Amino acid sequence: MTVYNFSAGPAMLPAAVMERAKAEFCDYKGCGNGIVELSHRGKLFTEVIENAEKNFREIMNISDDYAVCFVQGGASMQFCMLAMNLLEKGKSADYADTGVWGAKAFKEAKLFGDAKLVCSSKETKYDHIPAFDTWTRNPEATYLHITSNNTVAGTQYMKFPEVLPNVPMIADMSSDIMSRRINVSDFGMIYAGAQKNLGPSGMAVVIIRKDLAARTPATVPTMLRYSTYIDEKSLFNTPPTFAIYLFGLVTEWVKEIGGLDKLEIINNQKAARLYAAIDGSEFYKSPVAKADRSRMNVVFRTPNEELDAAFVKEAAAANLTGLKGHRLVGGLRASIYNAMPMAGVEALIGFMNEFERKNR
């Protein structure tokens, strides 16, 4: 029995990754200990973390100007950690409010300094990304923060804002990292919670330009300083070893299936197929502007809330789980991250067609 998990996170992992983790959980490479029992300073785990970073750098084309850090706490921890490290005294930071998580990041930044909104689509329920020529950017800002994919609202940047001189762009890429080709060098820092495209929950992966870490005030606690993770190679304390291990397996899977360019093609095909089914129906509607529709989180609705609830219940009975929309917006949401196969999308479309036939 195949169950397709459309949850926004923690999300499904590739089947091949889960099978390998199952095989190695109790006895890693014949050492007699499970992967979660290995010392983080031992030879076996050193190979795990070094290979994980190496694979990630290769897949994302990350230059030596950037550090890759594995940080506990997920992306929400990064909302404050970012501001504590990089929001320079006497300067302001620019934030784009394009969804729930961008708004949360902005709220946290204001606790540590002067943060200003350059745009917001809140009044229209975050149904689009505001056009860049409407943004009120500060050319002297200490950084610009964006959320590349808005998991709740179902929007995504198809292009990124212009990088202004001396204003590094910071991106929360939690729900679309390693799903498409980007130019890492356009960003001062990228961070992502692992539980969507990278592995299990509880960890964030941070890609940060090394020179930016020098901005950190001396008053920031050791465990919340990016320089600590850079200098100690994410091993200052015991890191989330199992999350790093699974992250490494996911990066190996990406390489095995053909790399990021191949994965992007597959992701585009999945999204196009599902949106075509929605647009071809008079029963289902997407509230998102077509130009900004996410290829990771497909948000849609039936004619009313009662049918939305029935859809979720009946879909689960048909082994299609996690389709309930976020609690703040309701409706339906199909998260089709890297690990979701086309077969899962086709199964969902088949269910949608049958549900519409019975209820229109």
**Catalytic residue positions, numbered:** 101, 172, 196
As a whole number of angstroms, the distance between CA 258 and CA 208 comes to: 26
As a whole number of angstroms, the distance between CA 269 and CA 210 comes to: 36
CB atoms within 10 A of CB 70: 23
Say what the alpha-carbon torsion angle 110, 112, 114, 116 is, to the nearest 10 degrees.
-30
Tokens 């309701």 appear where?
330
Which residues, other chains included, contact 272 with Cβ-Cβ below 8 Å and sequence gap of 6+? none
219 class by beta-carbon count within 10 Å (0-12 exposed, 13-18 middle, 19+ buried): exposed
The SS3 call for residue 335 is: strand
As a whole number of angstroms, the distance between CA 43 and CA 39 comes to: 8
Q: Are 295 and 267 in contact (CB under 8 A)?
A: yes
The SS3 call for residue 42 is: coil
Q: Are 273 and 349 in contact (CB under 8 A)?
A: yes
Q: Are 43 and 50 in contact (CB under 8 A)?
A: no
